[in-house]
Chain A
């Protein structure tokens, strides 16, 4: 099973209620903070499972000169973000 990883996120909450992640931060195994600027939100979808509402963002970023495509999940009730998986 894919493991998820909770992360800190800076995001924009627009006037019409949309939410868009801009930057995320997580701790790597050496306890170093890794900051990732999101270049593009490719798409997003709202989901609901066992009563939990969440939104999933497919994002593109450049990490240490390598392109990353990954999914971020935002859980609405808990206001928490996590990295769901990395596509490449």
Chain B
């Protein structure tokens, strides 16, 4: 069989590039965000606002993606901060993938701004892999207006590693025969799936570069780090058999979490937040006709300590009330009742799909009552779909100023609801 050719295509500073293209083309601005120290970050007032993307000049100040906005402003006070526009990013991502599909039908989207393309067998159509990659890079620049890095190899892992070499706007190859020269000298942290915890473990074993990991004895790695160790050992040797999968894998669970506006200190308050999370989780499950039978709750304290706990329900469900009943019990077992909490999350796993539903033998709800409750929840979902999520809310939230549906995307991103009229469009008399 001929050797496979896999491209990894990654948009450079995607969110920032897309926002910059919008501001230049639509708003007619002359200043290009990509040329000045700038970042895309969430609401300045929100305490979990983090850097989502940065420009190359901002990178020179040591600003990193994922760090808190206030920290970035300390590093560079004249930093230009622009808000994210998720509608724009989703649309840009769609066009990006569409463009890739023009080169090959086998495209696997890995995230909003990166994808693998299986280019095997396209040589007579597009020329050599490097030539094809250059064409792809140029067309994306000319037609979509942003730059990409393309990594070329014979498997997904090496293609991704190659894509992360020098940026921006570059094409790199990393075929298996190039691994010892191009990949082995790199620090082990640069290897795919090696995070800070794995890096620390490897360093304790005296492994600092990818080459050292590749040459290390597999049995030793397996003994110290288990299955994950074996995976990264194969990665270090450039081996990865995963196929480019055009269809995304099914969800293994449905979960949402929220960082609350202020620390949660009472049980009642925490239950309210859990209920509001259950509303969104259950609605997502019902939309996909999925039921779950294991509920887990995770929380983060104000000291950033993380804890989670789970339990099996006696049957599979996607009723908001039943999920909440499970979630608050799990929460009560988990929380000591006094440590302030800044983040709460609910997740449902062990999914089953309709029409094969196992009713709960020990539930207080009979199958008929269950179906009735389900119809009620589905009616509420459809009302919220048609008229916005505030059209109906549980009585428990009637007196509460808090949000009755939280987690995942914020309201604007979930609903695409219009923003209030900006000041400049208000009437001059303030009427």
Contact = CB atoms under 8 A, between A and B. Distances in A.
A13 interface: no
Interface in A47-84: 47-52, 54, 56, 63-64, 66, 70, 73, 77, 83-84
A83 B145 CA distance: 24
Interface in B31-77: none
A50 B92 contact: yes
A3 B91 contact: no
B421 A56 contact: no
A1 B174 CA distance: 41
A83 B429 CA distance: 20
Contact of B18 (A26, A50, A64): A50
Given A1-B82, A52-B92, A64-B431, A47 B26 contact: yes
A70 B425 CA distance: 9
- From B26, B88, B426, residue with most partner A Cβ within 10 Å: B26
A4 B73 CA distance: 26
Nearest to B89: A50
A51 B421 contact: no
**How big is chain B's contact interface, by range?**
20 to 34
* Count class of interface residues, chain A: 20 to 34
A1 B23 contact: yes
A5 interface: yes
Interface in B378-431: 418-422, 424-429, 431
Contacts of B254: none
A39 interface: no
B334 interface: no
A29 B23 contact: no
Interface in B90-106: 91-92, 94-96, 98-99
B177 interface: no
Q: Which of A27, A51, A70 has the most CB of B within 10 A?
A: A51
Given A49-B25, A50-B88, A29 B145 contact: no
A51 B143 contact: yes
A3 B427 contact: no
Interface string A17-49: 000000000111100000000000000000111
B116 interface: no
B257 to A, nearest CB: 28
B424 A85 contact: yes
Given A6-B418, A83-B425, A50 B27 contact: no
Give the most central of A5, A52, A64, A84: most B CB within 10 Å: A52
Nearest to B82: A1
Given A3-B419, A50-B144, A64 B427 contact: yes
A6 B415 CA distance: 13
26 contacts: A1-B23, A1-B82, A3-B422, A5-B422, A6-B418, A26-B425, A28-B421, A29-B420, A29-B421, A47-B25, A49-B22, A50-B22, A50-B92, A50-B144, A50-B145, A51-B95, A51-B96, A51-B99, A54-B26, A64-B427, A64-B429, A64-B431, A70-B425, A73-B26, A84-B27, A86-B425
Given A1-B23, A6-B419, A48-B25, 11 more contacts: A2-B27, A5-B422, A5-B425, A6-B418, A26-B425, A28-B421, A29-B426, A49-B21, A49-B22, A50-B146, A52-B92
Interface of B: 18, 21-27, 82-83, 88, 91-92, 94-96, 98-99, 143-146, 418-422, 424-429, 431
The 6 closest A-B pairs by CB, nearest first: A51-B95, A49-B25, A50-B92, A3-B422, A49-B21, A6-B418
